Amino acid sequence: MKKIGIVGATGYTGVELLRILATHTGVEVSIVTSRANAGSRVDAMFSNLRGYIDLAFSEPDVEKLSACDLVFFATPNGIAMQHSKVLLDNGVKVIDLAADYRIKDLSVWEKWYGMQHATPELVESAVYGLPEINRSHIKPANLVANPGCYPTAVTLGLLPLLEKGVISAEGIIADCKSGASGAGRQANVGTLLSEASDNFKAYASDGHRHQPEIAQTLSLLVGKEVELTFVPHLLPMIRGIHATLYTQASKKYDLQALFEKRYANEPFVDVMPEGSHPETRSVKGSNICRISPHRPGNGERVVVLSVIDNLVKGAAGQAVQNMNLMLGLDETMGLTAPAFLP
């Protein structure tokens, strides 16, 4: 049984990792850390895990974490890069759910994240953990940069079109909405119930840190710079991302067939029947991305609808999918439960 550590296990992605791994039959969670809650039992803070996780939070200790086979960092940006090298040198595989290793251009990363990178020598070797494009590289990887939630929904929605050269790399619009859990568990006035409920708004419209991550991934797919406009919005709900993607393609392409063929063997991408409108509630709590391409008025304008649970396929579920690949387990292990409904 592989031993797993989770650093920063009290945030939304951390506790989602615990929920998924609690019934995973291929691994054992052996260490969960939290500086602020060291000594407290996991099930005292998260009562849904009573009877599943019999551990207390501890202070992060690299020596103890080095006894694990794989360690997840479910921490704020800038934490994983401080500790990854020691763990990797001790033979421990690392998955970072934050953004420390996602962007290859360090000057771009430092501009958007406002800090100097602590382990720049690891950035190039880190594998971007989107299995639908990097599965063969994830399997032998020691360090995986788990993708952001918005980038996952957007990339999966555009992937078949860009791979086949069906659309131009210019003028792509990603109009995306997320539930409040995407902002994390820390106190924030903007995500208080009285502030976010019965309200809908855009934010970071002049620049969001997920934009360079999306642009990097899409540019690598087509071999040239992609022109992308990305605008996120906050929805008055807890979980879910809905990405509405706008681009253009010649009328000669059968979009439905193109998407169905590309994702035919992907266990966690569901191309819905033609004309469908995927709902965020249909993926709540699941590792599924549901997609539906449309061609309004049967013209050249293409609209792709892509939905995920930001805490699962957009974070913890995808991280477990990557863990399964890295540890030689069945890729779907622990991730096959259907969504919560209602």
pLDDT tens-digit profile of 51-78? Answer: 999 999 999 999 999 999 999 999 999 9
DSSP string, 152-207: HHHHHHHHHHHHTT-B-SSSEEEEEEE-GGGG-SS--GGGSHHHHTT--EE--TT-
**What pLDDT score was predicted for residue 53?**
96
**What pLDDT score was predicted for residue 270?**
98
Three-state DSSP class for residue 29: strand
* C-alpha radius of gyration, the chain, whole number: 20
Question: Could you give the CA distance from residue 38 to residue 233 in angstroms, rounded to a whole number?
Answer: 35
How long, in residues, is the chain?
A: 342
Q: Domains along the chain?
A: 2-125 (3.40.50.720), 150-310 (3.30.360.10)
Instruction: Compute the 3-state secondary structure of the chain and give helix, strand, coil in percent, each to the nearest 5.
Output: 35, 20, 45
**What pLDDT score was predicted for residue 214?**
97
Cis peptide before 131 (omega within 30 of 0): no
**What pLDDT score was predicted for residue 208?**
93
pLDDT tens-digit profile of 119-128? Answer: 999 999 999 9
Question: Could you give the CA distance from residue 77 to residue 80 in angstroms, rounded to a whole number?
Answer: 7
Catalytic residue among 68, 149, 176, 289: 149
The H or E element spanning position 3 is strand 2-7
Measuring CA to CA, which residue among 102, 234, 112 is closest to residue 176?
234
Give the sign of the dihedral formed by CA 222, CA 314, CA 323, CA 100. Answer: positive
Question: Could you give the CA distance from residue 258 to residue 220 in angstroms, rounded to a whole number?
Answer: 20
**What pLDDT score was predicted for residue 223?**
92
Contact 153, 241 (CB under 8 A): yes
**What pLDDT score was predicted for residue 184?**
81
Sequential pLDDT tens for the chain (342 residues): 999 999 999 999 999 999 999 999 999 999 999 999 999 999 999 999 999 999 999 999 999 999 999 999 999 999 999 999 999 999 999 999 999 999 999 999 999 999 999 999 999 999 999 999 999 999 999 999 999 999 999 999 999 999 999 998 889 999 999 999 988 887 788 888 888 889 999 999 999 999 999 999 999 999 999 999 999 999 999 999 999 999 998 777 899 999 999 999 999 999 999 999 999 999 999 999 999 999 998 788 999 999 999 999 999 999 999 999 999 999 999 999 999 988
**What pLDDT score was predicted for residue 13?**
96
**What pLDDT score was predicted for residue 22?**
97
Structure tokens at 100: 């420390």
**What pLDDT score was predicted for residue 252?**
79
Cα 101 → chain centroid = 13
**What pLDDT score was predicted for residue 12?**
93
Q: What pTM was computed for the model? A: 0.96
**What pLDDT score was predicted for residue 193?**
83
Question: Is 149 marked active-site?
Answer: yes
Contact 82, 93 (CB under 8 A): no
